[in-house]
Amino acid sequence: MQVCSYVVRRAEGWQFRVSLDFVVDFMWWTEEAEQQDDRAEVILLLTDELPLGLAIGLRDQFAHVPEMDGWSAKEWGNYLKRQLEEQLTRQQLQHAGGNRDGYGRRRNDIQLRSSALSVRLVWCKAGIGGEEGTSAGVGSSARASSREGQGLTAGLGAGLGLGSSASVGENARLKAITNTSLNAGSGSLGGRDKETIRLAASRLGDALAGRALLAAELQQLLAERLPEVAPAWRSAAQYAHLQGRVQLTAGVAPATARANRAPLRGRARHPRCRRCGSEALRRTPCGSCGQSSCAYCEACLALGRSRSCTLLLRGSVGAGAVPRPLAGGTAGAPPTGSLLDRWGLSPAQRAAAGEALRFLAQPQEAMARGGGRAAGLWQRVLARCGAGAAAAAATAANATNATNATNATAATHTLPGIPRFLLWAVTGAGKTEMIFPLIQYVLHRGGKVLVATPRRDVVLELAPRIATAFPDEPAAVLYGGSPQRWENARLYLATTHQLMRFYQVFDLVIIDELDAFPYHNDPMLAYAAEASCKRDGCFVYLSATPPLNLQREISRGKLPHAKVPSRFHGHPLPVPRRVAMYPVKEAVQRQRLPGSLLHSLSESIQRGAQIFIFVSRIRHIDPIVGLLQRKYPAIPVGGTSSQDGERTDKVLQFRSGEIRILVTTTILERGVTVPKSDVYILDADSSLFDEASLVQMAGRAGRSKDDPAGVVIFASPEWTRSQRGAVKQIKSMNAIAYKNGFLKRQLFRGL
Amino acid sequence: MGMGAEMSRDGNENKNSYWQMEGQLDRIWSNLLTPIHRLLAPAGSACLVCGKTIKERVPGYPELCLLCFSAIPWITRPRCRVCGRLVGCPDCSRSGGVERCFIMNRSSVAYSASMRNWLAQYKYRGHEAYGAILARMIGRAIGRMMQELHELHELNELNEHKAVHPFFDAVTYVPLSEERWRERGFNQAEVLAKGAVLAGKRLGGRLPVVGLLRRSRHTDKQSFKSRHERLHNMQGVFQALPEAVEQLAQAISPAQTYFRRHSPSHRRNTIRLLLVDDVYTTGSTLNACAAVLQHICRQLGMPGEIYSLTWARS
């Protein structure tokens, strides 16, 4: 996209501005601002069309210098030329350090440089040379070309015949709307036009409030929700921008323009995506801005391409409905009691939810941070992502999906910024019910809540439960391809990827299954989560197996948290038992399973349990299914994995008992509840099973009230640290539950 | 670490101190080992398609893992000699209907579901890293096509320069509408054409790429239309660029072919053009373009022979 750029002299100094529709800017500075006594003194149109990325770069680097008052149009032209030169040189440096697959690389630069020469004085305040305080220089240069300025002004007033043809076209279309659909009252042509733009801008501002959208996404939103604004969106967005309701920026922008570089950082810093925070390593020639190397972000392509010439609009939350701050309120009294009663929580759930509520209600000192906040965030993200240096960054860019764990070697959840609270609830504790009082509390105070979870199926499963819990509060359910994606609500339920479409809007962000793929170890999603939360909002994390860095923070006392050590039915977690066994590979080769394993399997079958068998490799599933089928011909055995198209069906069959033994991988470690089940983990010493996934898999057993004591077997040749850790974690949770009296008396044999 | 001691009965405090200790040890270890590990680990890159770390490299395709590469449905022996389809093709044997303005089409791959996905990633999502791969893939097809044509024309063509003669006089591509071009930022057919030329050069000979066409309006998605509609929907969509004739004349002029007195096109009195696009479905787009190209050639006083090359054939 190309935009127009201009400089404007206001009382406080010169400003560089970027415009989607210069006619709107002109109107603003010459008419609107007058009423607010903030009229522009001089406006110089620098370029009609400049690649958006460059224009934003120039804007962000611009600083007022007193000498500028004396500059003539020619000097402004030279300034622009210098700045453009500098930007392009920097880009070329980055390009040299980056990939090398561009086709035809130097198409643009000559064009760009010649466009820099078209600086024109567009407007200057009457009598500026004499009475006003600006220096003589601008006075003379302004006077010299004031006739030109007047001419242009007149032209604008009459036929709006100025500026880039595109935006004028938009404006003309806007006028068309005025006459037909909106039909605003009488008055001069200009006056009516202004009204329409103002109205369109206010609607657009409302729709954009708290969102971060690329121009293409905004157009989709408008087409769906505000079709009358859509044709003139550039004018409306520009007006909202001038009002301060919408920030205009580039999708990909240079990493911290004036970076305080560490000496060994290397000269070429890649630009970053402002939506997802990832490095944008790839540059290609671009037809929409005409640059020969326009960077784009590969990490968040799934939500539409963010590149250095795409417009990213961030709407600020309107001043209309400011929710009361979460803290304070009812005379400092902890808001427990009445809030908790409604939900029928178990004692353990109740205690933890109460603590979370107290956390929400307490004044958050962490929020008293100044304006350096944004820069701080940026730098932290940089530091975090840059930790792995070039190698890690390169893989980060390539790994679009499955294995981008490599790019996040550094911890992602150690952000000191927004206050966080961890609800560490064991598997089967009933996490969802515990968040209801929190949601209710924030909604009651007029705040906005987001419940995010990494997986789409969990979102779909959660939606009806939330709907039943909050019948008066329609929730917007967001995921890839959701029909509700542009709806506004106070309660959102979304996959973590959808967080990228929000900007500083939520008072409470609840992240469920914090340690699950793809949220875990993805700096992009962590960045998105942080950006979506209000600066004075807070996070509540839910997990049965929090990542190690959070566990460390807990042990150091840095992370407020509450543990829910027992399941809702008040029975202890089944403690895994060890069975020594040769590796599965060998079992497959020898075509037999060891007696010890078969012995307990037979027991499980006899007691009528559904049996999960977890293996570490997909290729082991079929042979194991075959072995078991031969051993137990009367029992239906099934196998499924991520590559199985009939997975959902098989899980349903397993739930209903049509399949008695299900051989699977970690794909089913979470979210599956089967009433009477036993769990066998083969090759439990595999490096693919870490402590968290062992605990999760073990958590599939004994979840129902009717069969609370399932069997969990770790079968492996070796007893590894992960296995020990998992057993320890389960035992310690049981111990805490016992100590706090959450367990039913006769049932703590697992200790 | 003695595990027994930590597994004591009164869990909480003991456990905390254990975690603390273990946490610190962990940290020390990882602080020590991570940099060493990183130093020693090979710079493994992830497969562009499946995201898994590439273990076995594929020569010529460093972005792909072996599994994804071996899943490419190459067309090595097209069944239909006209449109290059892998399976039998009723369209080409059918008589009547719209006249075919190109001589033959060849494609790199069959348009399978996975290939469709690759193209969608490239074209619609804008994942331009795919562009380089697709360009290399089409390079494979142009080599095969040129070989086939040489064999076919051996008797008609003078053999002396066979090794360096690229068969075609110029390469052109299907254009995008101005609106799409602004929106997408690249023309996939142009990228493919350049990829084909790169491979053609390697096989010998000069092969200029020229943009000759313009797309005046953007047509709706072809896939919702019947065959008849598709064939007629294309009429009048493509025009010659104003400078097309001049450009083509320059591209085939004898002055450019430095080691021969006359350009092959003048000698044989036809212009052989290669038209490149991403996917061949019914051939209606290519046919419409070929018709315009024929017209341009006639303006130069020579009949045009239009050949078509696409990345995929559905």
Is B13 contained in some domain?
no
Angle of the B11-40 helix axis to the A548-555 helix axis, nearest 10? 130
A203-207, Cβ contacts within 8 angstroms, sequence gap of 24 or more? A203/A229, A203/A236, A204/A229, A204/A233, A204/A236, A204/A237, A204/A240, A204/A246, A205/A240, A205/A243, A205/A245, A205/A246, A205/A315, A205/A318, A206/A318, A207/A315, A207/A486, A207/A488
Q: Is the pLDDT of residue A586 over 70?
A: yes
Q: Which pLDDT score is estimated for B142?
A: 87
Identify from B10, B19, B52 which residue to disrupt to test chain A contact, counting A C-beta atoms within 10 A and taking the largest count: B19
Query: Does the distance separating the beta carbons of A284 and B128 come in below 8 Å?
Result: yes
Q: Which pLDDT score is estimated for B250?
A: 82
**Tokens at residue B255, please?**
């002055």
Eight-state DSSP code of residue A411: -
Q: Is the pLDDT of residue A608 over 50?
A: yes
Q: Residue A566: CB partners within 8 Å, gap ≥ 6?
A: A346, A348, A426, A429, A572, A573, A733, A734, A737, A742, A743
User: Mean pLDDT over residues A568-575, rounded?
Assistant: 89
User: Mean pLDDT over residues A364-373, rounded?
Assistant: 40
pLDDT band at B272 (very low <50, low <70, confident <90, very high): confident
Angle of the A721-739 helix axis to the A691-698 helix axis, nearest 10? 50
B52 shares a domain with B82 = no
Contacts with A392 from chain B: Cβ below 8 Å:
38
> Exposed, middle or buried by CB within 10 Å (0-12, 13-18, 19+), for B143?
middle
> In whole angstroms, what is the distance from residue A14 CA to residue A40 CA?
10
Q: What is the tens place of the pLDDT at every residue in A387-413?
A: 433 333 333 333 333 333 333 333 333
CA angle A434, A512, B21 (to 5 degrees): 95
pLDDT band at A115 (very low <50, low <70, confident <90, very high): low
Q: Which pLDDT score is estimated for B220?
A: 62
Domain that holds residue B55: 43-72
B187 shares a domain with B51 = no
B108 shares a domain with B59 = no
A285 touches chain B (CB under 8 A): yes
**What's the mean per-residue pLDDT of chain A?**
76
Q: Is the pLDDT of residue A110 over 80?
A: no
Is B260 contained in some domain?
yes
> In whole angstroms, what is the distance from residue B178 CA to residue B164 CA?
37
Q: Which pLDDT score is estimated for A477?
A: 92
Is B78 contained in some domain?
yes
Eight-state DSSP code of residue A496: G
Q: What is the tens place of the pLDDT at every residue in A433-467?
A: 899 999 999 998 888 999 998 888 888 888 888 99
B304, B245, B295: which is closest to B270 by C-alpha? Answer: B304
ipTM: 0.73
B162 shares a domain with B57 = no
Question: Higher model confidence: residue A607 or residue A90?
Answer: A607
A401, A426, A615: which is closest to A521 by C-alpha? Answer: A401
Q: Which pLDDT score is estimated for A320?
A: 44
B134 shares a domain with B84 = yes
Q: Is the pLDDT of residue A681 over 90?
A: yes
> How many domains does chain B fold into?
2
> In whole angstroms, what is the distance from residue A379 CA to residue A319 CA?
29
> In whole angstroms, what is the distance from residue B113 CA to residue A292 CA?
33
pLDDT band at A117 (very low <50, low <70, confident <90, very high): low
> Is the bond preceding A523 in cis, omega lying within 30 degrees of 0?
no
Q: Which CATH class is domain A337-367+377-564?
A: alpha beta
Q: Which pLDDT score is estimated for A712?
A: 93
Is B55 contained in some domain?
yes
Q: What is the tens place of the pLDDT at every residue in B54-95?
A: 888 888 888 888 888 998 999 988 888 888 888 877 777 765
Exposure letters A517-535 (e unless 16+ CB within 10 A, then b): bbbbbbbbbbbbbbbbbbe
Which residues in chain B (178-207) have CB-CB distances under 8 A to chain A? 181-187, 191, 194
Q: Is the pLDDT of residue A262 over 70?
A: no
Q: Is A241 helix (H, G, I), strand (E, B) or coil?
A: helix
The residue whose two tokens read 């979470």 is A670
Is B251 contained in some domain?
yes
Q: Is A580 helix (H, G, I), strand (E, B) or coil?
A: strand
**What's the mean per-residue pLDDT of chain B?**
78
Q: Which pLDDT score is estimated for A396?
A: 37
Is B36 contained in some domain?
no
Query: Does the distance separating the beta carbons of B184 and A287 come in below 8 Å?
Result: yes
Instruction: Find residue B273's DSSP bridge partners.
Output: B170, B306
- Of B29, B57, B72, at which residue does a domain stop? B72
- Of B52, B72, B92, at which residue does a domain stop? B72
Is B8 contained in some domain?
no
Contacts with A298 from chain B: Cβ below 8 Å:
127, 129
User: Mean pLDDT over residues A28-47, rounded?
Assistant: 77
Q: Which pLDDT score is estimated for A439?
A: 92
Question: Higher model confidence: residue A679 or residue B221?
Answer: A679
B266 shares a domain with B131 = yes
B252 shares a domain with B177 = yes
Question: Higher model confidence: residue A122 or residue A349?
Answer: A349
A95 touches chain B (CB under 8 A): no
Q: Is the pLDDT of residue B281 over 90?
A: no
Q: What is the tens place of the pLDDT at every residue in B113-131?
A: 999 999 999 998 888 889 9
B281 shares a domain with B264 = yes
Contacts with A307 from chain B: Cβ below 8 Å:
126, 185
Query: In this structure, are residues A700 and A679 in contact, taking their beta carbons and an 8 Å threshold?
Result: yes
Q: Is the pLDDT of residue A142 over 70?
A: no
Q: What is the pTM for the complete model shown? A: 0.76
> In whole angstroms, what is the distance from residue A622 CA to residue B157 CA?
59
Q: Is B91 helix (H, G, I), strand (E, B) or coil?
A: helix
**Tokens at residue A459, please?**
């979102």
Fold agreement (A337-367+377-564, A577-747)? yes
Q: Which pLDDT score is estimated for B95?
A: 59
Q: Considering only alpha carbons, which residue of chain B is nearest residue A400?
A: B51
Q: Which pLDDT score is estimated for B255?
A: 54
> In whole angstroms, what is the distance from residue A693 CA to residue A702 CA?
17
Question: Pick from B12, B19, B45: which is nearest to A398 by CB?
Answer: B45
pLDDT band at B38 (very low <50, low <70, confident <90, very high): low
> In whole angstroms, what is the distance from residue A681 CA to residue A694 CA?
8
Q: Going edge to edge, which strands form the sheet with B104-110?
A: B104-110, B304-313, B271-280, B170-173
Question: Pick from A287, A400, A556: which is nearest to B185 by CB?
Answer: A287
For A594-654, give the DSSP string: -HHHHHHHHHHHHTT-EEEEE-S-GGGHHHHHHHHHHH-TTS-EEE--TT-TTHHHHHHHH
> In whole angstroms, what is the distance from residue A347 CA to residue A355 CA?
12
For A159-213, give the DSSP string: H---S-HHHHHHHHHHHHHIIIII----S-HHHHHHHHHHHHHHHHHHHHBTBEE
Q: Is the pLDDT of residue A216 over 80?
A: yes
Query: Does the distance separating the beta carbons of B125 and A305 come in below 8 Å?
Result: yes
Instruction: Find residue A541's DSSP bridge partners.
Output: A422, A511
B84 touches chain A (CB under 8 A): no
> In whole angstroms, what is the distance from residue B58 CA to residue A726 CA?
41
> In whole angstroms, what is the distance from residue A697 CA to residue A708 CA?
15
* Number of other CB atoms surrounding residue A268 within 10 Å: 14
CA angle B105, B106, B109 (to 5 degrees): 135
B126 shares a domain with B56 = no
Exposure letters A66-86 (e unless 16+ CB within 10 A, then b): eebbebbbeebbebbbebbee
Q: Which pLDDT score is estimated for B134?
A: 92
User: Mean pLDDT over residues B228-235, rounded?
Assistant: 70
A68 touches chain B (CB under 8 A): no
pLDDT band at A476 (very low <50, low <70, confident <90, very high): very high
Query: In this structure, are residues A43 and A7 in contact, taking their beta carbons and an 8 Å threshold?
Result: yes
Q: Is the pLDDT of residue B4 over 60?
A: no
Select from 3.40.50.300, 3.40.50.80, 3.30.465.10, 3.90.1150.10 the CATH code of A577-747: 3.40.50.300
For residue A539, report the phi and psi dihedrals to the nearest 5 degrees. -105, 140
B80 shares a domain with B63 = no
B207 shares a domain with B111 = yes
Q: Which pLDDT score is estimated for B168?
A: 83
Q: Are strands B57-58 and A712-716 parallel, antiparallel or unpaired?
A: unpaired
Q: Which pLDDT score is estimated for B205?
A: 67
> If residue A47 lies in a helix (H) or strand (E), which one and from where to where?
strand A42-51
Q: Is the pLDDT of residue A362 over 80?
A: no
Query: Does the distance separating the beta carbons of B126 and A301 come in below 8 Å?
Result: yes
Is B14 contained in some domain?
no
pLDDT band at B47 (very low <50, low <70, confident <90, very high): confident
Q: Residue A283: CB partners within 8 Å, gap ≥ 6?
A: A91, A94, A95, A98, A99, A102, A293, A294, A295, A296
Query: Does the distance separating the beta carbons of A388 and B50 come in below 8 Å?
Result: no
Q: Is the pLDDT of residue A297 over 80?
A: yes
Question: Higher model confidence: residue B59 or residue A105?
Answer: B59
B52 shares a domain with B108 = no
Counting one residue from chain A and one from chain B, the pairs whose CB atoms sit within 8 A come to 108
In angstroms, what separates the C-alpha of A394 from chain B's closest C-alpha? 8
pLDDT band at A334 (very low <50, low <70, confident <90, very high): low
Question: Pick from B11, B44, B182: which is nearest to A288 by CB?
Answer: B182
- Choose from A122-131, A316-325, A658-667, B218-227 the range with maximum mean pLDDT: A658-667
> In whole angstroms, what is the distance from residue A513 CA to residue A459 CA?
11
User: Mean pLDDT over residues B209-216, rounded?
Assistant: 89
Q: Which pLDDT score is estimated for A648?
A: 82
> In whole angstroms, what is the distance from residue A586 CA to residue A54 CA?
61
Question: Higher model confidence: residue A138 or residue A534?
Answer: A534
Domain edges within chain A:
2-250, 337-367+377-564, 577-747
Query: In this structure, are residues A72 and A141 in contact, taking their beta carbons and an 8 Å threshold?
Result: yes
A736 touches chain B (CB under 8 A): yes
